[in-house]
Amino acid sequence: MSQFAILRIQKLKAGVAVRRSLKHAFREQQTPNADPRRLCENSHHGAASVDEAMRRFHDRLPQKVRKNAVLVVEFLVTASPEVMAGKSRAEQDRYFDDALAWLRNKHGAENVVYAGVHRDEITPHLYAYVIPLDSQGKLNCRAFYGGADALRKMQTEFAERVGKRHGLDRGIEGSRARHTTVREFYAGIQRAESRMPTLKAEALKARELEPGSLLKRLVIETPEQVAERITHGIHDQFRPLAAAAGGVAMERKKRRQAETTAKAKAAELESARPLIEATRGLSPAEIDLVVGHVQALKRAKEVAAEAARRAAELVRYAREATSSALVRWARWAFQAMDQAGGDHLRVQWVEAEANWTDAARNGRDGAALSSETISRTLSDHSPGRAGVEREILLGAGDEKRIERMSNEMEPDVETTPAYRP
């Protein structure tokens, strides 16, 4: 039986998406898979209503927000359905409390603006809304969860620090198994529940609701009330069986996906055999040197691709009619690229940045800009600064190799498109 810790995230980029998600969390909209009779079992941390949660959300947002920034990362924490069903309420609470403490420690308690536990659904689960602020107080989801490797590390860290404490394992790392969606999960449960028997009203004897007397009429159940009472009783008894049946089908699906993963891993190992043979007999120091060269090559490709992406982005921004700092830099950068024959690799970006900095600071291409605005614009958008963080990621010995390989390598992206205003 699978005993997996489950942690998933969803990125929300608009306030309306945050409100819509919160309305689901507080059950202010119809939730077909939730049992309204168990609504009182749900719990809330940090806010008691959608409006209060939205206020906390807005209070934590920085004053300046990029147009495409991730505003909230929504977390969902649970475990394999059969494991959660086997845990007592106290055990479930301890698991959710530890998960919430882990989230607060990772992102800062003040950035976890709201969290809650849903118990009115088949499988209890914790959900939390986190504003991804970095150490500088900026929205920076990419720094936390900017790629598949970052997400894998998060899954591993959660399983090690929270899951293991509650007898839960991490899923297969690198698995090609596709997560079962919420819709698929509840569709399986609802298919099982649809086969539960229901009783007809005419086949049952009605119960007395209130006894009659000389001054009071006898009150008995209507046929509809009888049918509803019996049907609810049957469903309450068979719901665990239905959940188990749905879980068996999912386990079969997961096993097939695990087999596919194992085959893929074997294929990856086979493809790596030439590299293994090439390094056979080398000393550990020599292998470290080979690894260093490979890492420098990969980093050079990343820098080249990022520079090309920034150049293409600047051409697009140069078409806009606004006078923002980004658009002004884009127009200046386009002129530099145009003079270099449309090739961003031939531009002397240090010189171009210095000239624009002087013009922007003294208001020669529009309103004067502050040094902070100029620095942030160049840091985020100049192709010449695509690899500014390389000094942190690599040693000084790799620096010259990156410069050389960046100039020799063609990026795996389209070249800078032509532009004529």
Domain spans, the chain = 5-166, 182-203+227-271, 284-408
pLDDT tens figures, 94-150 = 999 999 999 999 999 999 999 999 999 989 999 999 999 988 889 989 888 877 678
Q: Which amino acid type is present at position 139?
A: L
Element (DSSP H or E) covering residue 309:
helix 284-318
**Cβ neighbour number for residue 143 with a 10 Å cutoff:** 14
What is the distance between the alpha carbons of residues 316 and 334, in angstroms, rounded to a whole number? 10
**Cβ neighbour number for residue 208 with a 10 Å cutoff:** 10
**Cβ neighbour number for residue 136 with a 10 Å cutoff:** 8
What is the distance between the alpha carbons of residues 212 and 386, in angstroms, rounded to a whole number? 85
Mean pLDDT across 31-36 = 85
Concatenating the DSSP letter of every residue in 14-42 gives: SHHHHHHHHHHHTT-S--TTS-GGGGGG-
Position 418 scores a pLDDT of 46
188 vs 86, more confident: 86
The yes-or-no verdict on residue 227 having pLDDT over 50 is yes
Q: Using an 8 Å Cβ cutoff, are 117 and 96 in contact?
A: yes
Q: Using an 8 Å Cβ cutoff, are 409 and 301 in contact?
A: yes
Share of the chain above pLDDT 70, in %: 78
- Computed over every residue of the chain, the mean pLDDT equals 81
**Cβ neighbour number for residue 261 with a 10 Å cutoff:** 17
The yes-or-no verdict on residue 409 having pLDDT over 60 is no
CATH number of 5-166: 3.30.930.30
The yes-or-no verdict on residue 258 having pLDDT over 90 is no
What is the distance between the alpha carbons of residues 249 and 185, in angstroms, rounded to a whole number? 10
> What are the CB-based long-range contacts (under 8 Å, 24+) for 326-330?
326/377, 326/381, 328/356, 328/360, 328/365, 328/366, 328/369, 329/356, 329/360, 329/377, 329/378, 329/381, 329/382, 330/381
Q: Which amino acid type is present at position 326?
A: L
Share of the chain above pLDDT 90, in %: 44
Judged by average pLDDT, the poorest of 42-51, 138-147, 170-179 is 170-179
Judged by average pLDDT, the poorest of 264-268, 278-282, 313-317 is 264-268
Which of helix, strand or coil describes residue 73?
strand
Position 413 scores a pLDDT of 43
What is the distance between the alpha carbons of residues 134 and 152, in angstroms, rounded to a whole number? 20
* Paired tokens of 291: 């690894």
Position 147 scores a pLDDT of 72
Which of helix, strand or coil describes residue 377?
helix
Position 188 scores a pLDDT of 56
The yes-or-no verdict on residue 152 having pLDDT over 50 is yes
pLDDT tens figures, 49-76 = 999 999 999 999 998 888 889 999 999 9
Cα 36 to Cα 32, 118, 327: the distances in Å are 9, 12, 52
The yes-or-no verdict on residue 191 having pLDDT over 50 is yes
Position 87 scores a pLDDT of 92
Q: How confident is the model at residue 11 (pLDDT cuts 50, 70, 90)?
A: very high
The yes-or-no verdict on residue 78 having pLDDT over 60 is yes
The yes-or-no verdict on residue 399 having pLDDT over 70 is no
